[in-house]
Amino acid sequence: MSANAKGALFALIAFAVFATHDVVVKVLGGIYSPFQIVFFSVLLSFPLATVMLMRDAKPGTLMPVHPWWMALRTAAAVVTGVCAFYAFSVLPLAQTYAILFASPLLITILAIPVLGETVRLRRWLAVLVGLAGVLIVLRPGSTELNLGHLAAMASAIGGAVASIVVRKIGADERPVVILLYPMVVNFVVMACALPFVYQPMPIVHLGMLGIIATFAWIANRLLIKAYSDGEAAIIAPMQYSQIIWATGFGLLFFEESIDQPTMIGAGVIIASGLYIVLRESRSDASENTPVLRTRSRSETGTTPRVSLRMRIAGRTPPR
């Protein structure tokens, strides 16, 4: 088996684990506030993050070099986590994924003012087509949009902002700083909200929260292996396989069926995202390749992102 084939296989398994992770989020989201779920997810992720921090031998303090950019990234990650968890709890899985898949399109737009990226006509057309796909999924005017749709869009925007800021400051900041601040702030903010939303949790549900943290860790490890083996242009599109798992899991566990507008809109969004990835993989088409270097799902501040874990481990991700 070729290196790219192995990488793609590991990525497919990783995103299957992520999709299973999201099923557990949806189950708990039907009972508990997203603030409570995020709080315990971060709490249970800290031991794994601590092990990673112990492996970072790079000297320096934990004070950010770019405090305002770090503040923006941290705020975006906190918003992304809460909104994503809420969207998964109230919207069909496939519809939530379709909206979240708009994040690479938004990264492409943000790369212009933040990274000085030049986006030419073809990528602009891909972005516009992808955003039209989002409108197909949302169907404004013909269906009632609720807070879940708004949360999914806010999560896609927040994830794009967090990712593009990492591309902006990642060369200057220590990986542990980029990793730690969103998790700590998430913990503090959710802890402040917890007294207003807390419901006692039986041991079974606490175990499910442990599954969320563990599955996120396993999926990230598999993605690290995928990016170590294969090219980013091959691995990145594998994230769209989550829509297949979402359709199956939604039907199996939640009696959800994917309607035609969601199917068409998701197809349009995925096609435009694939085109952007292919364009960025050409050395003469993009200087910064901001979408290719995102490397993982949107930043939620609940678990360390893949690129940071690779940098801490001293492994340079393929470009």
Query: Dihedral (C-alpha) 304, 308, 309, 315: value to the nearest 10 degrees?
Result: 170
Residue type, 64: P
38-48: pLDDT as tens digits:
999 898 888 77
| pLDDT recorded at residue 75 | 94
58-87: pLDDT as tens digits:
666 778 888 999 999 999 999 999 999 999
251-261: pLDDT as tens digits:
999 999 888 89
| pLDDT recorded at residue 172 | 84
Residues with Cβ within 8 Å of residue 74, at least 6 apart in sequence? 181, 182, 185, 301
SS3 category, 289 = coil
Q: What percent of the chain has pLDDT over 70?
A: 87
Tell me how far apart the alpha carbons of residues 162 and 296 are, in angstroms, rounded to a whole number: 12
The predicted model scores a pTM of 0.88
Residue identified by tokens 């069909």 is 92
Structure tokens, 194? 């917890």
| pLDDT recorded at residue 199 | 95
| Contact criterion met (CB below 8 Å) for 90 and 146 | yes
